[in-house]
């Protein structure tokens, strides 16, 4: 039976410690922070979207990078397994819209408490405020870790240090450093599930405006690269919200400066029906100026922007609008357009895109193919998914596989 050290007490690290402790005589969990699960604590706006309750094929479809690598891990430890473990250790769960799973209490701290209960029941040695400086590797075998002037020897070490996102929680990328020092390749890192910056200052006037039931399109020149229906939000720097954040998972690792964001404000109406709707509104308010006659169609904050993009005089009386001007208004409504300058940074990203290249990792055990006894789990690997509990499921499944592999 092996002695196992886990570096990192987040989602992947805690489940790896649990899994390893099922078969190992000694498991040591090292966490640099003053408590476990610091990032879990803030996920899902502090409620913790634990996983997604869809069938595992659907979960797999929502993985963006290297989904085939996860086949074995997903099969071995499923969404049902993590839900059962959490509930058996004291936290009742509920399923919400989109099959997202949350604690009934809406407190992420309860999820952490359940996992801590499971670890304590298996006598895992949890050491907080303990920062690992480097791995102890000799002749391509990982033999432990170095902390200051001290060495802790082990038969297996699991690196579950997270990515670069939410750096306030201690995710400073040291797992990537450990991997590189061990001779493994790390692909380029990008912030993902992150808002976009928009060129120009006009966006600031829309700050705080939330739009529901819109269709968002993103174009690279004339090529459509993203198309999604849902909710979005204008901010002081650009755009955010579910459909925008999901877009970053697909295009966030490209040079997106100059990509065009187009918003269809009325996707339920084609241009002809929208024109009829506008004509009806104008007939009721024919002596009003354009800027005072669109309040039935748009939120107040949006009216100036739609008129600006229509290139129509806002003071013009609606009964004097030409058909061509009305068509421009219809076009702006169906194609409100902005130029994207970049994504926001790691401090606002939910996850990291990129990481330890999975071609170097055994997908069944998460062990390095190059360094015996060295395992990786969770966000430190080049794996990412859309929002909805899928990224945490990657952490649970890879963490469980690593713990099992290291324990054996």
Residues 353 and 252: beta-carbon distance below 8 Å: yes
Question: CA 31, CA 21: separation in Å to the nearest integer?
Answer: 17
Distances (CA, A) of 371 to 143, 155, 181: 10, 12, 11
Residue 64: half-sphere exposure toward Cβ, Cα within 13 Å: 22
Q: Any idea which residue has 């009003």 for tokens?
A: 288
Contacts (Cβ under 8 Å, ≥6 apart) of 18: 85, 115, 118, 119, 122, 124, 400, 403
pTM: 0.92
H helices, E strands: number in the chain: 12, 21
Predicted confidence at residue 264, as pLDDT, reads 98
Q: What is the pLDDT of residues 30-68, one digit of tens each?
A: 999 999 999 899 888 899 999 999 999 999 999 999 999
Question: CA 162, CA 379: separation in Å to the nearest integer?
Answer: 5
Tell me the mean pLDDT in the region 329-345: 96
Calculate Rg over the CA atoms of the chain.
Answer: 25
Predicted confidence at residue 2, as pLDDT, reads 76
Question: CA 263, CA 212: separation in Å to the nearest integer?
Answer: 11
pLDDT at 171 over 90: no
Q: What is the pLDDT of residues 382-392, one digit of tens each?
A: 999 999 999 99
CA–chain centroid gap for 342, Å, is 17
Residues 376 and 401: beta-carbon distance below 8 Å: no
What stretch of H or E contains 134?
strand 134-138
β-partners of residue 191 are 352
Q: What is the pLDDT of residues 105-155, one digit of tens each?
A: 999 999 999 999 999 999 999 999 999 999 999 999 999 999 999 999 999
Tell me the mean pLDDT in the region 399-403: 98
Predicted confidence at residue 25, as pLDDT, reads 81
Residues 341 and 257: beta-carbon distance below 8 Å: yes
Q: How confident is the model at residue 1 (pLDDT cuts 50, 70, 90)?
A: low
Question: CA 114, CA 40: separation in Å to the nearest integer?
Answer: 12
Q: For residues 328, 330, 331 and 333, what is the CA-based torsion angle, rounded to 10 degrees?
A: 120
Average pLDDT over the chain reads 95
Predicted confidence at residue 253, as pLDDT, reads 87
Question: CA 40, CA 391: separation in Å to the nearest integer?
Answer: 11
Q: What is the pLDDT of residues 236-274, one digit of tens each?
A: 999 999 999 999 999 988 899 999 999 999 999 999 999
Q: Nearest-CA neighbor of 407 among 25, 122, 79?
A: 25
Question: CA 307, CA 321: separation in Å to the nearest integer?
Answer: 12
Predicted confidence at residue 286, as pLDDT, reads 80
What stretch of H or E contains 115?
helix 108-121
Residues 154 and 3: beta-carbon distance below 8 Å: yes
Distances (CA, A) of 62 to 67, 292, 358, 390: 9, 44, 18, 7
With vertex at residue 158, the alpha carbon angle to CA 396 and CA 345, rounded to the nearest 5 degrees, is 65
Contacts (Cβ under 8 Å, ≥6 apart) of 285: 292, 293, 318
């Amino acid at each position: 039976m092996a002695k196992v050290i886990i570096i990192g007490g987040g989602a992947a690290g805690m489940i790896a410690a649990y899994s390893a402790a099922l078969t190992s005589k000694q498991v040591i969990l090292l966490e640099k922070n003053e408590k476990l699960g610091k990032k879990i604590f803030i996920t899902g706006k502090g409620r913790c979207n634990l996983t997604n309750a869809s069938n595992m094929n659907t979960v797999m479809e929502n993985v963006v990078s290297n989904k085939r690598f996860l086949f074995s891990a997903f099969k071995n430890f499923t969404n049902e397994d993590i839900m059962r473990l959490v509930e058996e250790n004291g936290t009742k769960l509920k399923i919400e819209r989109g099959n997202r799973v949350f604690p009934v209490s809406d407190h992420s701290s309860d999820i952490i408490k359940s996992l801590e209960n499971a670890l304590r029941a298996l006598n895992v040695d949890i050491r907080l405020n303990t920062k690992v400086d480097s791995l102890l590797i000799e002749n391509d075998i990982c033999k432990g870790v170095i902390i200051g002037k001290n060495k802790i020897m082990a038969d297996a070490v699991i690196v579950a240090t997270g990515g670069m996102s939410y750096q306030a929680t201690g995710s400073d990328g040291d797992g990537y450093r450990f991997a590189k020092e061990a001779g493994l390749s790390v692909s380029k890192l990008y912030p993902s599930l992150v808002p976009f910056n928009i060129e120009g200052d006009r966006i600031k006037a829309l700050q705080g405006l939330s739009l529901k039931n819109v269709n968002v399109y993103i174009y690279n020149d004339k090529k459509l690269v993203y198309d999604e229906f849902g909710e979005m939000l204008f901010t002081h720097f650009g755009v955010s919200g579910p459909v925008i954040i999901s877009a970053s998972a697909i295009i966030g690792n490209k040079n997106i400066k100059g990509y065009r964001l187009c918003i269809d404000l009325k996707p339920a109406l084609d241009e002809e029906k929208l024109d009829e709707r506008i004509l009806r509104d104008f007939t009721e308010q024919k002596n009003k100026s354009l800027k005072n006659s669109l309040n039935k169609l748009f939120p107040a904050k949006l009216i100036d922007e739609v008129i600006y993009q229509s290139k129509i005089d806002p003071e013009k009386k609606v009964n004097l609008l030409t058909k061509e001007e009305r068509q421009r208004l219809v076009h702006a409504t169906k194609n409100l357009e902005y130029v994207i300058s970049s994504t926001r940074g790691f401090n606002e990203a939910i996850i990291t895109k990129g990481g330890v290249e999975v071609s170097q990792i055994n997908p069944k055990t998460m062990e390095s193919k190059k360094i015996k006894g060295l395992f990786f789990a969770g966000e430190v690997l080049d794996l990412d998914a859309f929002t909805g509990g899928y990224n945490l499921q990657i952490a649970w499944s890879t963490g469980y596989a690593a713990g099992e592999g290291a324990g054996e």
